[in-house]
Chains A and B, each alone.
Chain A
Amino acid sequence: MFGFWKTWKALEARGIMGINRRNADYVLKYNKRSLYPIVDDKIITKERAIKAGIHVPEMYGVISTEKEIEKLDDIIGDRSDFVIKPAQGAGGDGILVIADRFEDRFRTVSGKIISHEEIEHQISSILTGLYSLGGHRDRALIEYRVTPDQIFKSISYEGVPDIRIIVLMGYPVMAMLRLPTRQSGGKANLHQGAIGVGVDLATGLTLRGTWLNNIISKHPDTTNAVDGVQLPNWDGFMKLAAGCYELCGLGYIGVDMVLDQDKGPLILELNARPGLNIQIANDCGLTLRTHAVEAHLEELAAKGIKETPEERVRFAQELFGHIHQPE
């Protein structure tokens, strides 16, 4: 019992945020329930982003009824790679990534050959709400398949690595690169076994990572070092993330982005309840940073100033950036 208390105190001193605090102080406080559909439904997110001029993967089409499944062929056209997603999926479930065509069949990104019927069944499952939060009827989204930038070749296993930045009231507070592993089956979700690697907000240099709640510095599949990698176009990512506050109006979000080798940084989705493992990846607690942002916001409110995304990024980079990694 005493040991627990010591751990408790130590974690508190480092500003580690627990689920209860995240829910009570950030999610419930900054995220208005009525705005949830914007982030919960990827189609709405996408439409909003396009309107705001934020880059997203191109949407090929939407299937919202069983009848419309027939239109699948028209939507795909003669494209050989595409992604089918549930609009309201959670945790990367129900996503089907088609990498190639093989005769009359399709090949998924993991090399599995599936038939046209199987794709239709998958879409039908999506429509019945199998993958959606709360089991509601859902829509299927067919979109551009992101080709990850070559930089990630050595430190990821299949799949698309993505970059998650936690944004509080438009201020990026912490960033993480998520690398799929063999265990995660090409998905970039940490609870499925992907690696989270911390990223220095100022420079875009990667720090050490977390895998299954442990701190690591090498990719378990490729054994290449995951730290010290310079992410290209980092400021672009930061601005993209900071701009998402205006896009959705939610104050505490996790912005998931990818780096496409042709189209650069793209926003994949927004998350109203971002996970806490980013803290382990960055070896840093969220609470200290969010408190700093909240204090800054109070200061600004007193002066009546509203900052632009660029100013917010600069503020965050100055305050939270340039971390010297202990060797």
Chain B
Amino acid sequence: MRALTLHLKILITILVVLGISITAYQIFVLGIPVTEDATDDLWNIDAKVEFVASSKDPVKIQMFVPPLNRDYVSLNESFISNNYGVSVNRVDGNRKVTWSARRVSGKQTLYYRLVLTKRYSGDKTKIKGPVFRDSIAVEGPEKIAAEALLAPIRQHSADVETFISETIKRVSNANDDNVKLLLAGDPSTAHKAQIIELLLSIAHVPMEKVHTIRLVADQPQTPELWLRSFNGNDWLYFNPETGEQGLPSDRLLWWIGDEPMVTVDGGKKANVTFSLNNSEMNAIRLAKLTDENTDANFLEYSLYGLPLQTQQTFMIMVMIPIGVLVILILRNLIGLQTLGTFTPVLIALAFRETQLGFGIILFTVITALGLTLRSYLEHLKLQMLPRLSVVLTFVVILIAAISLFSHKLGLERGLSVALFPMVILTMTIERLSITWEERGGGHAMKVAIGTLFAATLAYLVMSVPELVYFVFTFPAVLLIMVGFMLAMGRYRGYRLTELVRFKAFLKAES
């Protein structure tokens, strides 16, 4: 017996641990939302490219588009352009779209649209970057000014990180004569960044310029320049204006390097404007979309991988164990008396078709009428099978009558009854009537009400949408439930009703 108990304990532990870890994996690693209502930001970025084409030459426009290799998942990307050939290629960690056309003229407008989300970005790939670079050659006064600037920077810094932020701070100080000389009267951010790069290159610190877009809705934007340096493990991002470190989470990296965003051959006055808007999207739908658009497929082996029709069936099926669990608790822990073990679950399933209130009325009416018929049949002394058949047929006729009647009255609800499992009703009537004869009307009523109560409770629990979603999305929960059921299988404490039943003992004692 003890070995059996140990065996059971191990089994329960394995099941529960397995269930919990699979669910935790789904929630924390795959990031599948815990509730159906969880929404996620969905960003819709439009880049509008305008230029004037010269009528003589063929036109070729090249524009950087986000490389999308980190943090974000692109759900949809489209290039909207009439009469243009489109090709996308990757160059040095950038992605570039090339639109080309042989003969166009006048003002041209092209669109690039990207729909992306931050969630479900999958595993981060190992990042690599340069840790050393050659100095940019400078001559004359600039060299002296640069060295003069670098001396205190070296003094005030401890590592690459502090070195860069110190450099940015110095260069931002417009009163410094050395800086003035280097900037040569052009204090734009781009030029500043160039000076910073120069200074860093003399110290052999590698640096890249990255152009980012801020994910903020309904604001005109131009790409924002950031500097980044690789410290051996990760990229360190710096704002060239303020020296602020770390890229805010709402920045989307668009391209890297010195080149302008758009280059046009055979045209002029190229101009890019961004417009962004975000919408919220149901997280699980988002997950499905992500699945379709990337090779992540973490929903592949979940029930979402099934055809839609089958999914709906499974949504009901996975809830049956929950209903059974409710009955198990009601019977073995509470001690409620029900008709048969699983009849309440079947009735609860039937309630799905009819809705609760109507289902209870229907159940009561049909069972009451059926019992009346059954007690009449008792006088005829029929054998069991013919008698059951008569009751079943009667139930069918009754249901047909109710449907017809309610349809004539304009109650469409009555029609749902057609799917109300008749056999369940028939068996309920038969067993109830036997109980009635053997144990009396009071007991039969008690059992009937117990059954109805259990069915109602099971129905209510089974139709909690959050629970349906949860069990359907994380089917491993069923393993935890099996663990609980196993534990219940060797539960030997009192049932709640037994406390009342055996009260006589305590009365005698006191």
A-B interaction: yes
By a beta-carbon cutoff of 8 Å, the part of chain A in contact with chain B is: 4, 7-8, 10-12, 14, 16, 18-21, 23-25, 29, 91, 93, 117-118, 121, 124-125, 128-130, 135, 191-192, 210, 213-215, 279-280, 283, 285
Give me 13 A-to-B residue pairs in the complex whose CB atoms sit less than 8 angstroms apart, sorted by A's number: A7-B503, A7-B506, A8-B499, A10-B506, A10-B509, A11-B498, A11-B499, A18-B493, A20-B491, A24-B492, A135-B384, A191-B439, A192-B438
Please give the distance in Å from A82's CB to the nearest CB on chain B: 21
Number of residue pairs across A and B with beta carbons under 8 Å?
A: 80
Asked if residues A20 and B493 are in contact (CB atoms below 8 Å), the reply is yes
- Taking a contact as CB atoms closer than 8 A, the residue among A4, A129, A279 that contacts B496 in the complex is A4
Asked if residues A213 and B332 are in contact (CB atoms below 8 Å), the reply is no
- Taking a contact as CB atoms closer than 8 A, the residue among B381, B490, B496 that contacts A118 in the complex is B381
CA distance A280 to B500 in the complex (A): 12
Closest 4 pairs between A and B when the two form their complex, measured CB to CB: A21-B492, A128-B384, A18-B494, A121-B381
Q: Considering the complex, give the chain B residue whose CB is closest to the CB of A135.
A: B384
By a beta-carbon cutoff of 8 Å, the part of chain B in contact with chain A is: 1, 332, 335, 381, 383-385, 434, 438-439, 489-496, 498-499, 501-509
Q: Considering the complex, give the chain A residue whose CB is closest to the CB of B1.
A: A29
Chain A residue contacts of B493, Cβ below 8 A: 8, 18, 20-21
CA distance A192 to B384 in the complex (A): 24
Asked if residues A280 and B499 are in contact (CB atoms below 8 Å), the reply is no
Known: A16-B505, A20-B332. A125 touches B383 (CB 8 A): yes
Give the interface SS of chain A, mostly helix, strand, loop or mixed: helix
Q: Considering the complex, give the chain B residue whose CB is closest to the CB of A93.
A: B438
CA distance A23 to B332 in the complex (A): 11
Chain A residue contacts of B507, Cβ below 8 A: 215
Please give the distance in Å from B497's CB to the nearest CB on chain A: 9
Asked if residues B502 and A11 are in contact (CB atoms below 8 Å), the reply is yes
Asked if residues A24 and B491 are in contact (CB atoms below 8 Å), the reply is yes
Asked if residues B505 and A14 are in contact (CB atoms below 8 Å), the reply is yes
Known: A8-B499, A14-B505, A210-B504. A130 touches B384 (CB 8 A): yes
Asked if residues A20 and B502 are in contact (CB atoms below 8 Å), the reply is no
Chain A residue contacts of B498, Cβ below 8 A: 11, 18-19
Asked if residues A192 and B506 are in contact (CB atoms below 8 Å), the reply is no
Chain A residue contacts of B383, Cβ below 8 A: 124-125, 128
Q: Considering the complex, give the chain A residue whose CB is closest to the CB of B437.
A: A93
Asked if residues A20 and B492 are in contact (CB atoms below 8 Å), the reply is yes
CA distance A191 to B501 in the complex (A): 12
Chain B residue contacts of A285, Cβ below 8 A: 505
Asked if residues B499 and A213 are in contact (CB atoms below 8 Å), the reply is no
Q: Considering the complex, give the chain A residue whose CB is closest to the CB of B496.
A: A4
Please give the distance in Å from A117's CB to the nearest CB on chain B: 8
- Taking a contact as CB atoms closer than 8 A, the residue among A24, A117, A215 that contacts B504 in the complex is A215
Chain B residue contacts of A130, Cβ below 8 A: 384, 434
CA distance A16 to B438 in the complex (A): 28
Chain B residue contacts of A280, Cβ below 8 A: 502, 504-505
Chain A residue contacts of B495, Cβ below 8 A: 18-20
CA distance A29 to B492 in the complex (A): 13
Chain A residue contacts of B492, Cβ below 8 A: 18, 20-21, 23-25
CA distance A21 to B415 in the complex (A): 47
CA distance A10 to B492 in the complex (A): 16
Asked if residues A283 and B505 are in contact (CB atoms below 8 Å), the reply is yes
Chain B residue contacts of A279, Cβ below 8 A: 502, 505
Chain B residue contacts of A23, Cβ below 8 A: 492
CA distance A283 to B385 in the complex (A): 45
Please give the distance in Å from B506's CB to the nearest CB on chain A: 5
Known: A18-B495, A24-B490, A24-B491. A214 touches B504 (CB 8 A): yes
Q: Considering the complex, give the chain A residue whose CB is closest to the CB of B381.
A: A121
Please give the distance in Å from A153's CB to the nearest CB on chain B: 27
Chain A residue contacts of B384, Cβ below 8 A: 125, 128-130, 135
Please give the distance in Å from B24's CB to the nearest CB on chain A: 32
Chain B residue contacts of A125, Cβ below 8 A: 383-384
Chain A residue contacts of B496, Cβ below 8 A: 4
In this complex, the member of B434, B489, B494, B495 whose beta carbon has the largest number of chain A beta carbons within 10 angstroms is B494
Q: Considering the complex, give the chain B residue whose CB is closest to the CB of A16.
A: B502
Please give the distance in Å from B388's CB to the nearest CB on chain A: 10
- Taking a contact as CB atoms closer than 8 A, the residue among A4, A117, A128 that contacts B499 in the complex is A4
Q: Considering the complex, give the chain B residue whose CB is closest to the CB of A129.
A: B384
Chain B residue contacts of A21, Cβ below 8 A: 492-493
Asked if residues A20 and B494 are in contact (CB atoms below 8 Å), the reply is yes
CA distance A285 to B508 in the complex (A): 13
Not counting A8-B493, A8-B494, A213-B501, a sample of 11 additional A-B residue pairs whose C-beta atoms are within 8 angstroms of each other reads: A7-B499, A11-B494, A24-B490, A91-B438, A125-B383, A128-B384, A135-B384, A191-B439, A192-B439, A280-B502, A283-B505
Chain A residue contacts of B332, Cβ below 8 A: 20
Q: Considering the complex, give the chain A residue whose CB is closest to the CB of B503.
A: A7
Chain B residue contacts of A25, Cβ below 8 A: 492
Please give the distance in Å from B430's CB to the nearest CB on chain A: 9
Chain B residue contacts of A16, Cβ below 8 A: 494, 502, 505
CA distance A310 to B498 in the complex (A): 35
Chain A residue contacts of B490, Cβ below 8 A: 24
In this complex, the member of B385, B491, B505, B508 whose beta carbon has the largest number of chain A beta carbons within 10 angstroms is B505
CA distance A129 to B434 in the complex (A): 12
Chain A residue contacts of B438, Cβ below 8 A: 91, 93, 192
CA distance A279 to B508 in the complex (A): 13
Chain B residue contacts of A14, Cβ below 8 A: 505, 509
CA distance A319 to B506 in the complex (A): 24
CA distance A249 to B180 in the complex (A): 106
Please give the distance in Å from A2's CB to the nearest CB on chain B: 12
CA distance A17 to B194 in the complex (A): 87
Chain A residue contacts of B502, Cβ below 8 A: 11, 16, 213, 279-280
Chain B residue contacts of A12, Cβ below 8 A: 494
Chain B residue contacts of A11, Cβ below 8 A: 494, 498-499, 502, 505-506
Please give the distance in Å from A194's CB to the nearest CB on chain B: 13
Chain B residue contacts of A215, Cβ below 8 A: 504, 507-508
Q: Considering the complex, give the chain B residue whose CB is closest to the CB of A11.
A: B502
CA distance A14 to B506 in the complex (A): 9
Chain B residue contacts of A24, Cβ below 8 A: 489-492
Please give the distance in Å from B375's CB to the nearest CB on chain A: 15
Chain A residue contacts of B509, Cβ below 8 A: 10, 14
Chain B residue contacts of A29, Cβ below 8 A: 1
Chain A residue contacts of B1, Cβ below 8 A: 29
Chain B residue contacts of A128, Cβ below 8 A: 383-385
Q: Considering the complex, give the chain A residue whose CB is closest to the CB of B499.
A: A7
Please give the distance in Å from A221's CB to the nearest CB on chain B: 17
CA distance A121 to B439 in the complex (A): 21
Please give the distance in Å from B488's CB to the nearest CB on chain A: 9
Q: Considering the complex, give the chain B residue whose CB is closest to the CB of A66.
A: B383
CA distance A18 to B334 in the complex (A): 12
CA distance A214 to B507 in the complex (A): 10
CA distance A191 to B337 in the complex (A): 14
